Structure formats: structure tokens, C-alpha cells
Structure 1
Amino acid sequence: MSLPPPIFILASPRSFTSLVCAMLGQHPELYGVPELNLFVAETMEQLLQRFKGVLQFQLHGLLRTVAQLYAGEQTMLSIEMARRWNLNRLDRSTGEVYAELCQKVTPLRIVDKSPAYPINPEALERIKNTFPDACYLHLIRHPKTQGESVMKIAGGMMAKAVDSFDYSTQPPTLDPQYAWYKTQSNILEFLSKVPSSQQRRFRGEDVLGNPRLHLEQISKWLGISWNESILEAMLRPQDSPYAYLGPYGATLGNDPNFLKSPIFKQRKILPSSLEGALPWRQDGKGFIPYVFKLAQDFGYS
């Protein structure tokens, strides 16, 4: 039996992915999940080994999803059940486990926005090998506002975690534009091998500024139904079972700011400029030429 192909949102962190994924997940033919992160490893044993200690939070999305799908709720008890569920599948590939989750939600299609995928080309290849007919939504955000958002979280912890430094200075300067460029380059390289019918690119600012237009475009691309009541449902991301902090042991799985305030408020996002000094740098430097050029190619100015 063929499974309904999942939809993967590929983006840099802090690019409105939690909100957009939850909005898409409210479509009656889709199922938005928190960050599953399954494809960062080949097997479940490797996955659980990788996400130990301080990295355990990267399993929260998977635990919450399993708890919700197999127990119908997210409680401390159902999270413990989800941990056993994972342990019972140590000898399976992460692709097999992902397919099991797809089977569980059939006929709905999973929408997954795990930010660990686009920074890891091997993870992207695992997705393609497991689901050759998957669809990919390339979601972008202006590198200046994306960088500002990254730097506001724990002193730029997300940029540090992916070694986003300018090593031309002494000492090296933490600068999220390097990670933005690397992630976008990974996505573009991967999507160059994916049929054009299975991919679309949207600017996050445009989706949030005019959700009616862009959510309809996404729905038509995916070949799913569209009407006024569906739009109304998609404008209520707070109705997702994953739109709030989870129970003890699996509180996260999505962006913490989204989990604290998941209600969508349509707003026009004022354009940022690619020119000038970057607000997170003390030396007055701006975007390096290849970041500037790629952002222009995406329609930013």
C-alpha cells in the first residue's frame, strides 16, 4: 500500500517554520507535526545515541507525536510510553519508523519542519531515498531579520551550535549570515535534484502578510482542497495539539516563542535592507558579497 507523501518545510531556523507548519497542519487533509528530527541518523539506535544528555530536547517532537498518535494525549504517562515505543524500534531504520508514522495518519499527509534536516545533506538524502515522491516547501526569510532573531536566543546559541563564525577576525566574530548562507546552499543543491513539480519556494514574510493568497497557492500545488472554511481553519494554528508546551519530559518540539504564543496575527512585515552594517556586529561590517547576491536572487533588497 502506497503512503501519502509527506511534505517537508526546508528553511533556516527562525524563518517562521513553526507557525507555517502549524497553519498547514490545520488543513483537513494534512497533519502538522513538531520537529521529528528522525532523518538526522540512519537507525533509531543511532538517533537515540545522538540525542543524549543536553541534546535530549531534540527528541521532544518525536515523543509528543508518538504520544498523541498512539495514546491520544500528551501526558507524562504517554510520553513514557513514547520512550518505550522508540526503544522497541532500535533495530529499525529511521525511514521505516517515519513510514510507520505516515501510515498511522493515513489518509492525511505529514507536514514536517525539522530544522536539523537542511543543515545536514545526508539527512536530506535519506528523505529522498525513503520518500522519492515527497514535496518540499522552501521557506526563506530575509537574512538580516533572520539573523537578528537567531541572535536574540540565548546569546546566539543557535549560531554557535552550527559554527557560524567569521574567522577573518581575531577573535572570530559570531555572525549568523554564514549559517544562513550554508543552509540555503544545502537546500538549493538538494532541490536541484528534485523534480520541479515537487518543490515550491515562498518567502515567509509574504505568507504571513497575505496568508489567503499564499496558503491557497500552496494548497493548489499540493493538490488538496481549498475553500473559505479551510482558510479559517488554517488561520488557527493554536488548534494544533502541538501548539503549546508539552508535559514534563517533552516540553518543546517547536520554537519556544511559538509554543508560548501560537496565535496567528496577520501583519505586514516591513522590508529590511541588505545594505549597511549588521546589527549583531560591532565592527560596522555588512553582508559578505555572496550572501548579498543570494538574498537578491530570493527577491530581497
Structure 2
Amino acid sequence: MEEQGYDVDDPIGPETSLVQDLGFSSLDFVQLIVDIEAKWARKLGFQDLLLKNGVYVKDVSVSEIESFLAAQLSSVDAPSAPPGPVSATSGHSAVRQAAIPGDAIPPITAESVVAFRQSIRPRQLPAGSSSTPKNPRAVFVLSPPRSGTTLFRVILAGHPRLFAPPELYLLMYDDLQQRRLELAGDANSHLLEGTMRALVELEACSADEAEARMAAWEQQSLPTRDFYGYLQSRLGDRLLVDKTPLYPLDPSILARAELDFEEPLYIHLVRHPYGMIRSYEESQLDRFAPVLYENSFHRRQLAELTWYVSHRNILDFKASVPDGRWLQLGFESLVTQPEHEISRLCQFLGLDLDPAMLQPYSQPERRMLSGAKQLTRMPGDLKFHLHKGIDPEAATRWQQFLPSDFLGDLTWDLAEQFGYERQQVRQLLEAQGLLR
């Protein structure tokens, strides 16, 4: 570590812990990962070390890193089995079952969509009173998980007129106590950190103070609508941005935004379904536990269904929103033409382009890139921290790993509405000798 420039005072041994003994923050740990992978010139899948049964570890020892590296380096060239199906157990964890060949996974159908929708936990969200004043305007980023939303949030956070904290997980709950009861389990507790990180930033307080304040509000069952209002009262002339990728899975959650806010703005972020599915499978996102749903779909099916149902709900919701309050952006255009797309974004928001938005890895504290407690439990997408700039290759990286055109016809019909072409995928597979 000293060779890499890390400031280490005490001797390091196998049992030395990175957080407790060396005081590593999440970003320190990510930098260590970057250095290790640069040395070996390959990606080593460190997310498997950071996540145990769907929960971020709180610390890692030197011996654990050594063992992990030895295992990864010995198996890095070995073929990997396709990911297995997912089964939710006791509502708090998801486990992988026996892997099955990828070509044996049934394509999703209309029946699959119905079953998936039925598996989503129904929300009992009160309609609210028309006599209750709405909160001021806010911005909602609508997109399924693994669609580039963490990068997008951090781009937004670079503008001085925007306040874009990590995922808030507020709109889906009536009050803060209800939110804690659902998210406080081991597999989901990291989802509570976005609100605490927002308080740390707005109040210039410690993580412990923010946690105590949240605990008091949770005990009081403070309505989430009022908590949003409190955050906005601390913003001055800044707009609040809420980027929580699970909102689009339930139409009632989307409708809540119109009830609780005065003419909110919506940014619909779209990514190629194969890109989203590849990222979902790679991150094993289902291990974070089904906050909204429990089912036994195969991981690949679950990813595709999440993409389809989220975007279907978003488009249905769009029909009730005036055009002037809606902007659609493509992830692929965002990473290949960032200045053009971010200029479009700023024009929609009524803001001037700020150059800092084009440098999303600068000013990490201002962009709230670390967790509230500076541990390894990082908000948003861990993979974001392993890059150093907007990566245009992220637009098409999935093409290297595509085994076949396995999308269901329903998914393709919707994808083509967004400009993604099935014929282009077939040509890609044909060129690789994979078209069947």
C-alpha cells in the first residue's frame, strides 16, 4: 500500500482491517480496487467481495483481500455458469438456485408480465387532501435500475442550482416509520442512507446527528410529504432531484409525485434493454432483496421484466403529464455526446450549463459520492466509483457478451419505440456466428 501512495503509519498484517485499523473511506477502498485491477490489467469482480448475501460488508481485512485475489486470479479465465433463478425467502433476502443453460430460459410473455405485476407488493398510499398545500416543484428521474442513473444523478449534482442526493426511497411510503419498518432489514438497510446523506449535506451535521434526527422523525411517523418539504425548505433556490429507480415499478408511486408536488418535472432515462439486463445480471442486483416484489423468476427474466414494466408504467404515466414537464434522454447519447445531452437537460430545467456537470468525478463531497458514514456501503452503483470519467464505451459494452437475441416480443416492441433496432442486434449476432 505504501508503494501506491497510501498513508499508513502502523505495520500491516493479514488481520489488519481497512476501515477500523486504517481508517479507509469508501472512496479509499475503491481507489485500492482501481490500483489492483490496473496492476493486473483486468477486472476482478470486487463487488463479490463487497456484498455478502445482498448486504454491503462494513470492513475487509488484508487476508480477505489476498484470498479473494488468489481465487479470482486462478479462475479469471475459467468459463462461468449462467446465473441461476432467484427465489425470495422470508421477504428479506434473495438466493441463487441451481444454474440452468442460458438458452433454456423461457422468453418473457404477456403471462410473465401479469405474474410479475402480481408479485409487486401493493402500496396503500392515501390520495391526500386537496386542501393541503403541495410541496414546491421537484425533479424526478424515472428509469429502472442499472440504466446509468447513478452517473446521471452525479452529473445533476454538479450544478449549483440542483440538489441531487443519493436514492431517497421516500415517494413509495406514506410516512418515515413505514419506510424504516420495510427497509431496516439487513438486506435493505443501506437504502436508508440517502436521506441521512442529504441531511449531512444540508445541515452540515455529523452522520450520528443525522441518524438521530431521522430516528426521531421515524418515531413520530412524520409523513414523507412533510419530510420532502423540510428538505426543500433548506435548499434556497436549488431544485430537489429524486433519483430512486424502484419508483416506476408501481403506477401508484408515480401518481404520488403529482399529488405531493407543484408541477414536478420528469426526466425519463432510457437504456438499451440488453445493456440494462447485462448490468443487472453482472451486479446480481436481486441480492439486495425484493423491496417491492417476491418471485421465483430467473435473474435474466427478472431484469427484462423490470425493464419492461418500469418503462411501460412510465409511458402510461407520461400521458397524464404536460409535455413541457417531461424530458426523455437516452443513456447511450448521454455517454457518447455528453455536452449536447447535458445542454438539452439544462435547457429543460431552465438552467445554464455548468462545466462541472461534464466532470462527474470531480468535487466528490459536493456530489455526495460517499455514504453517510464513510464506510464501504456506498450509495448508488458501486461500479460508478471504478471509473474516472464519462465512458462512451459503456453504451455498447453489452454487445461483447450477448449470447443470443433472447428478448421477448413485448420487450422488443417497446424497445423499438425508443429507437433500438432488433435488426441491428441480429446483424451483430450474425457477424459473431451466434444467430440461430
Q: Any conservation in 2 of the 1:39–1:126 contact (CA below 8 Å)? A: yes
State the alpha-carbon separation in 1 of the partners of residues 137 and 164 from structure 2: 13
Task: Using the TM superposition, name which of 172-181 and 36-45 deviates more.
Answer: 172-181
Deviation at 1:148, TM superposition (A): 0.6
State the alpha-carbon separation in 2 of the partners of residues 296 and 151 from structure 1: 22
Structure 2 CA distance for partners of 1:111 and 1:119, relative to 1, 3 Å: same
Q: Which amino acid aligns with 1:39?
A: L
Residue equivalent to 1:127: 257
Tell me which of 70, 83, 88 is aligned to 2:214: 83
The C-alpha deviation readout for 1:76-119, integer Å capped at 9, x for no partner, is: x334334335336x332111111111111121001221112111
**Equivalences for 1:1-301 in 2 at 5 Å?**
5-54=137-186, 55-70=188-203, 72=204, 75=207, 77-87=208-218, 90-154=220-284, 156-157=286-287, 162=293, 174-175=300-301, 176-226=303-353, 230-241=354-365, 242-247=368-373, 251-258=377-384, 260-261=385-386, 263-269=388-394, 271=396, 279=403, 286-301=406-421
Q: Any conservation in 1 of the 2:369–2:379 contact (CA below 8 Å)? A: no
Structure 1 or 2, whichever has the larger Rg, is: 2
Q: Which amino acid aligns with 2:346?
A: S
Q: Any conservation in 2 of the 1:68–1:74 contact (CA below 8 Å)? A: no
Structure 2 CA distance for partners of 1:174 and 1:165, relative to 1, 3 Å: farther
Q: Any conservation in 2 of the 1:118–1:187 contact (CA below 8 Å)? A: yes
State the alpha-carbon separation in 2 of the partners of residues 82 and 240 from structure 1: 24
Q: Percent identity?
A: 23
The C-alpha deviation readout for 1:241-282, integer Å capped at 9, x for no partner, is: 311344168933312222x336323425554899xx964xxx
State the alpha-carbon separation in 1 of the partners of residues 290 and 184 from structure 2: 19
Structure 2 CA distance for partners of 1:9 and 1:108, relative to 1, 3 Å: same
Q: Which amino acid aligns with 1:14?
A: R
Structure 2 CA distance for partners of 1:214 and 1:173, relative to 1, 3 Å: closer
Q: Any conservation in 2 of the 1:3–1:106 contact (CA below 8 Å)? A: no
State the alpha-carbon separation in 1 of the partners of residues 376 and 256 from structure 2: 25
Structure 2 CA distance for partners of 1:296 and 1:273, relative to 1, 3 Å: farther
SS at the partner of 1:38? coil
Structure 2 CA distance for partners of 1:173 and 1:192, relative to 1, 3 Å: same
> Bigger relative contact order, structure 1 or 2, given CA contacts below 8 A and separation 6+?
1
> TM (normalized to structure 2)?
0.59
State the alpha-carbon separation in 1 of the partners of residues 286 and 134 from structure 2: 42
Q: Any conservation in 1 of the 2:164–2:240 contact (CA below 8 Å)? A: yes
Unaligned stretches of 5+ residues in structure 2: 1-132, 422-436
Structure 2 CA distance for partners of 1:185 and 1:20, relative to 1, 3 Å: same
Residue equivalent to 2:89: none
State the alpha-carbon separation in 1 of the partners of residues 402 and 164 from structure 2: 34
Q: Any conservation in 2 of the 1:177–1:287 contact (CA below 8 Å)? A: yes
RMSD of the alignment, in Å?
2.9
How many residue pairs get aligned? The number is 283
Structure 2 CA distance for partners of 1:238 and 1:287, relative to 1, 3 Å: same
The C-alpha deviation readout for 1:10-47, integer Å capped at 9, x for no partner, is: 00101110111111111121111100011111112211
State the alpha-carbon separation in 2 of the partners of residues 269 and 123 from structure 1: 30
Structure 2 CA distance for partners of 1:250 and 1:130, relative to 1, 3 Å: farther
The C-alpha deviation readout for 1:138-159, integer Å capped at 9, x for no partner, is: 0011000110100012375369
Q: Any conservation in 2 of the 1:151–1:157 contact (CA below 8 Å)? A: no
The C-alpha deviation readout for 1:168-217, integer Å capped at 9, x for no partner, is: xxxx6742211110111111111111111101111111011111101111
> TM (normalized to structure 1)?
0.83
Structure 2 CA distance for partners of 1:31 and 1:160, relative to 1, 3 Å: closer
Structure 2 CA distance for partners of 1:217 and 1:91, relative to 1, 3 Å: same
